[in-house]
Structure 1
Amino acid sequence: MQENTNKSIAVNSLILYIRLAIISVSGLLYTRFSLQALGISDYGLYSVIACIITFISIINTIMVTTSNRFIAIAIGKNDQEEVCRQFNVNLVIHVLIALLTIAVALPLGHWYIVHHVTYDGDMHTVHTVFNVSIIAAAMSFIGVPYNGLLIARERFFVFCLTDVAMSLFKLFFTYLLIDHFEHKLIIYTCVMAFMTAFPTVVFFAYCRRQFAAITRFVFVRQWRKYYDVLNFSIGIGIGAIATIGKAQGGALIINMFFSTTMNAGLAVANSVSSILQNFANNAQKPISPQIVKNYAAGNLDRCTSLVCLASKATYLSMFFVSIPFILAPEVIFGLWLKEVPPYAITFTHLLIVDILIFSINAGVNDFVFATGKIKLYQIIVNTLLVSSIVVGYLAMRRGMPPEYLFYVYIAFSFMVFLVRPFIIVRITKFDVWALVRCSYVPVLLITLLFLPTLYLKQIIGQMLSVVVAYAYFVILLYTIGLRKNERHYVNSLVRNKLLRKH
């Protein structure tokens, strides 16, 4: 079983990284073209509206993890009928969430726009952008159980192919928008809304064809199953509120105390950090369903090994792709953007540090969620995250510069990193020392040894310092990041490749 699952992880990782390479390049160009087409003010406005929608759709965000967990657990138990029941329970819940979101979003969103959004243009445009975006978001909610089924079945190529197609279309459209069309913001919003809702159609069609026995509609009358899903989602909800509040609250707080111009800088920084984090999460994504399935099958040793692997791989992947933005941001932003918004580089640096700290425990969440014992873990961890929003807001209210908001976020993320091992020992049978030994120690050693390279750009210039830093990082990764058996595997792979050529 282990050999097969390792091969599955490797194949799915390759698919995800091919997808990411295309999406990352498209995403960087898309941000530049969007900024050129809309201008700093309208681009900042759209980022604020996106934050509002994210807050309103928080219930659906809670259910994403819940759906994936219950479907994967049923698959791990090898019970086809139970998988069908769990899928339909989650589908019914998500249809209700979509309807509830529209009912709640319209009055709440318009109230926020009237009282808190700062915009120099026509406020009717703001309301139109919001209405179109929220309807598309509600439609996308219905696709969540189908997406959860694809992840649990490890059919990553389906949503990878969909993401690539949507990304390339988005890139083409934003480039076209620069020199064509009037009412650019409205047209931009409508196209973005279409691309938000379209994946649901693709996932529905594929799952109905490939998993007909699972996705056939059956109204489940076992109310306990709905209760179990909703009860589990309450614990997840604490985390979703905290995570979304931290990620999106920054933009709303910046808008309250500064302007949409400053929001444009943060939107650019969020675009960069999102691409980098997606790259890092690709290391974790193929491992996550394996953690849940192995826990359901009672294979705890394999679970521990996978959690350690996910945590280490996510952090080191994030570090690897962040190096150019750490050492040569002025060069990259100058080539990338025609006009660099205020604070874009500063926000990018601070977001990278915050995400790096948070990613060290990437595999722990999957293990805790697989156990179902999430209440204590979620309360403690996410109380700290919510506290970071409150403290950050108070700092801005006292007149602090905008970067201080993210200093606060970083401080609280470090607190979360420190308390997580103690919490997991209290609620689960998990070998924390294996996590410390196999994940924490190597990544912290690599980070400390890498720090002197930050001064290279003052000696040899920015671009050359990036090349030297990458070579040094690969050496650190090979000697410290890989365990003995992993180094042996890499050596064998390289040796076999060389022998084939001769």
Structure 2
Amino acid sequence: MTNQTSENNKRIAKNAVFLYARMLLSIIVSLYTSRIVLQTLGVEDYGIYGVVGGVVSMFTFLNSAMSGATSRYLTFEMGKGNESRLKETFSTAFIIHIGIAVAIFIIAETVGLWFLCNKMVIPEGRMLAAHVVYQCSVIGMFFTITQVPYSAVIVAHEKMDIYAYVELLNVGLKLAIVYVLLVLNWDKLIIYSILMLLVSISISLIYRFYCTRHYKESHLTLVLNKQIMKPMLNFSTWNMLAECGYAFRVHGSNIVLNMFFGTIVNAAGGIATTVQGILLGFVSNVVTAVRPQIIGNYSRGDLSRMNNLMLSSIRLNLFLVGVLTIPMYVDAPYVLKLWLGNVPTYCVDFCRLLLIAIFITSVSQIVTIGIHASGKLRQTSIVRNIIYILTPIIIYIVLKIKLQNPVIGYVIIVLSQMIVCLTDIYILHINIPQIKCLSIFVDYVKTFITAAIIVCVVSGLNENRQTTFLTVCVNFIVEWALLFIAFWAFIFERYEKDMIKSSLTTLFKKITEE
């Protein structure tokens, strides 16, 4: 291993540590605040917050598309080392995001508002609160969209420690919101929506201040370089198709379930999505840490390093997914009961299905970076768009014809994500033949089989036992031990094992010296 590669690996590890610290804070606070918010707002208001905010999110696919393009081109230009080009890229991206924010604001205040008033199933007497939630979501969306170029600059510079520091403030403010909800005796849904908006705006402004103070390229000059804008818009156009389909799948599926089963099912789905977001966000730290170097290696033509980094990242992500999701899957009823107290109907089933989806998404995240690095998004965008758009339509048809069970909707969502992952792996192979896509597929299958076997073994051992805190802790230890043995024996490569041994040895020496 060269000195440069070693330094890059250390930087990735350091960034991952900061991101994990950030996520750990988010997990602890999210687990606590979700329980209190659910109990304080009630199931109906919690469902309203999730589904009404989702209507606004449906219109943010333009922003998601440009976010990928901005991150890709800023990182690419940084890899090339052209500072003037980098500054023009940032300014061009910011102007485009302003245009997107204005366009989505207009759509949200016309089409979205009409949909809220005429098609959403909102409990009687809660329409005013639903409108407040909606308008707060629209305003928050505007700040989120224009924040994207600044976040991309921080990631491109691999300054992940900033995320950890700002998260300290973020979790503190969210804890303060919980306290306010418990103290004030007014419409708590309205209070919650307004305070969450203020927190979102505050965090956004902090990131902008940091970037403008530390990075020259983020000093806005309002320069619109057409040579940069054209490929960026071309990239984002194809990315937009996939993001549009994804937004339609996620929020369209929620709306379909709302039409058939009301806000109670949306509340269960909201809890399940929160669990998925927490766990997926934790493993996604690997993605954020390696993204700049994967794209940077492609821009420099170092495809061998890019291949090794992608494969190792996928294996690490799959291992972390197993560590987090297998215990949660086995003991979901007990954990949710301990966490929430009153578990909404269908919540356990929804959680388990979305935990399976995390295994799939963790692979897709790394594969997508490779596709984005190549800049060739046409094929994957078309395929993803078709699959995503068909998903809520299929859910609607199935529920309308025969199966009046909301669980079937989540089964269809998981299957659609699996198809997307497999097609992405194949398309990556077409775009960059040097990437060993067969190895990605093999690692994915091995991990899925391993997880299924562990779940079956542990579930079988506990079939006639009463679930207690002690049995859950024992289950965790057994599951983690089996997973580590399986990965060490069948999935991790030799150089990855050597790296793990070296890291553990270094850590042990530091501990003993202290």
Please tell me the TM-score bracket, short chain as reference. over 0.9
Distance in 1, Cα, partners of 2:508 & 2:24? 26
Is 1:480 the counterpart of 2:490? The answer is yes
- Measured against aligned partners, the alpha-carbon deviations of 1:182-240 in whole angstroms (never above 9, x if no partner) come to 011111110011122222211111011101x2122223343232222111111111121
Contact 2:95 2:224 in 1 (8 A): no
Distance in 1, Cα, partners of 2:241 & 2:441? 30
- Cα distance 1:141–1:418, how it changes in 2: closer, same or farther (>3 A)? closer
Report the counterpart of residue 151 of structure 1 in structure 2. 155
Q: TM-score, normalised by structure 2?
A: 0.92
Report the counterpart of residue 43 of structure 1 in structure 2. 46
Report the counterpart of residue 189 of structure 1 in structure 2. 193
- Give SS of 1:339's match: coil
- Measured against aligned partners, the alpha-carbon deviations of 1:120-173 in whole angstroms (never above 9, x if no partner) come to 223122112211221122122111100010011111122332233212321232
Aligned partner (choices 231, 237, 240) of residue 237 of structure 1: 240
Distance in 1, Cα, partners of 2:207 & 2:415? 40
Distance in 1, Cα, partners of 2:504 & 2:204? 41
- Give SS of 1:303's match: helix
Q: TM-score, normalised by structure 1?
A: 0.95
Letter in 1 for 2:346: Y
Report the counterpart of residue 429 of structure 2 in structure 1. 425
How is 1:99-498 mapped onto 2 (pairs within 5 angstroms)?
A: 99-120=102-123, 121-211=125-215, 213-400=216-403, 401-433=405-437, 435-436=439-440, 439-440=443-444, 442-444=446-448, 446-451=450-455, 452-459=457-464, 462=467, 463=472, 464-498=474-508
- Measured against aligned partners, the alpha-carbon deviations of 1:260-313 in whole angstroms (never above 9, x if no partner) come to 111111111111011011011112210111111110111011111122122222
Distance in 2, Cα, partners of 1:433 & 1:166? 39
Deviation at 1:67, TM superposition (A): 0.7
- Measured against aligned partners, the alpha-carbon deviations of 1:434-484 in whole angstroms (never above 9, x if no partner) come to 634873365245335424333232155541323321222222233333221
CA RMSD, 1 decimal: 2.0
- Cα distance 1:334–1:218, how it changes in 2: closer, same or farther (>3 A)? same
Distance in 2, Cα, partners of 1:445 & 1:265? 28
Q: Which moved more, 1:291-300 or 1:399-408?
A: 399-408
Distance in 2, Cα, partners of 1:219 & 1:447? 51
Contact 2:16 2:286 in 1 (8 A): yes
Letter in 2 for 1:265: A
Q: Where does the alignment leave 5 or more consecutive residues of structure 2 unmatched?
A: none
- Measured against aligned partners, the alpha-carbon deviations of 1:362-388 in whole angstroms (never above 9, x if no partner) come to 311111111111101221233223222
Report the counterpart of residue 7 of structure 2 in structure 1. 4
Distance in 2, Cα, partners of 1:311 & 1:495? 24
Deviation at 1:352, TM superposition (A): 0.9
Distance in 2, Cα, partners of 1:185 & 1:253? 23
Q: Which moved more, 1:418-427 or 1:468-477?
A: 418-427
Is 1:87 the counterpart of 2:97? The answer is no
- Measured against aligned partners, the alpha-carbon deviations of 1:379-419 in whole angstroms (never above 9, x if no partner) come to 12332232222212211222420000111122222323333
Q: Which moved more, 1:140-149 or 1:460-469?
A: 460-469
Q: Which moved more, 1:439-448 or 1:60-69?
A: 439-448
Distance in 2, Cα, partners of 1:447 & 1:366? 25
Q: Which moved more, 1:413-422 or 1:147-156?
A: 413-422
- Give SS of 1:342's match: coil
Distance in 2, Cα, partners of 1:46 & 1:116? 16
Distance in 2, Cα, partners of 1:282 & 1:199? 19
Question: How many matched pairs?
Answer: 501
Letter in 1 for 2:376: K
Deviation at 1:341, TM superposition (A): 1.2
Distance in 2, Cα, partners of 1:487 & 1:139? 44
Distance in 2, Cα, partners of 1:438 & 1:390? 32
Deviation at 1:64, TM superposition (A): 1.0
- Measured against aligned partners, the alpha-carbon deviations of 1:29-63 in whole angstroms (never above 9, x if no partner) come to 11111111111101100001121111122211211
Q: Which moved more, 1:360-369 or 1:149-158?
A: 360-369
Letter in 2 for 1:455: G
Contact 2:72 2:372 in 1 (8 A): yes
Deviation at 1:8, TM superposition (A): 0.8
- Give SS of 1:360's match: helix
Report the counterpart of residue 79 of structure 2 in structure 1. 76
Contact 2:387 2:416 in 1 (8 A): yes
Deviation at 1:246, TM superposition (A): 2.4
Distance in 2, Cα, partners of 1:131 & 1:17? 33
Deviation at 1:105, TM superposition (A): 0.9
Letter in 1 for 2:497: R
Distance in 2, Cα, partners of 1:56 & 1:437? 33
